[in-house]
């Protein structure tokens, strides 16, 4: 699956950035520089999350909405609502 490969590559990139932040902290780097790198990592993770959500909306959600099972439609819509509510608490 190409989508999974793209997501995994982005996550590996984030992992590398996290290691860089760890080195910065170990080397007692300037605090603002560390914060900027952490913000870059957060932005990269947000992008990965958006990619996964988009894939979910275009596959699982559409399948459920077009399906015959109203309980499944409700379950998937509730999941989406919960994800958005949780993201607002962060």
Task: Please answer whether residues 73 and 67 qualify as being in contact, where contact means their C-beta atoms are separated by less than 8 angstroms.
Answer: yes
Other Cβ atoms within 10 Å of 77 Cβ, number: 13
Length of the chain: 90
Q: What is the pLDDT of residue 7?
A: 97
Task: Please answer whether residues 40 and 17 qualify as being in contact, where contact means their C-beta atoms are separated by less than 8 angstroms.
Answer: yes
Compute the mean pLDDT over every residue in the chain, rounded to the nearest whole number.
93
Cα-based angle 70, 3, 38 (whole degrees, multiple of 5) = 105
In terms of average pLDDT, the best of 27-31, 69-73, 79-83, 85-89 is 27-31
φ, ψ of residue 28 to 5 degrees: the values are: 55, 45
pTM of the complete model beyond 0.95: no
Lowest mean pLDDT among 1-5, 53-57, 72-76: 1-5
What are the structural domains, with CATH classification, of the chain?
2-89 (1.20.58.1000)
- Per-residue pLDDT band at 65 (split at 50, 70, 90): confident
Q: What is the pLDDT of residue 90?
A: 67
Say how far apart CA 80 and CA 84 lie, in whole Å: 6
Lowest mean pLDDT among 7-11, 20-24, 69-73: 69-73
């Amino acid at each position: 699956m190409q989508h999974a490969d793209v997501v995994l590559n982005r996550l590996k990139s984030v992992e590398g950035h996290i290691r860089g932040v760890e080195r910065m902290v170990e080397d007692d780097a300037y605090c603002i520089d560390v914060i900027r790198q952490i913000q870059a990592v957060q932005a990269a993770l947000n992008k990965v999350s958006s990619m996964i959500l988009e894939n979910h909306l275009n596959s699982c959600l559409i399948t459920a909405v077009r399906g015959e099972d109203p309980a499944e439609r409700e379950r998937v819509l509730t999941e989406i609502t919960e994800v958005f509510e949780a993201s607002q608490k962060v």
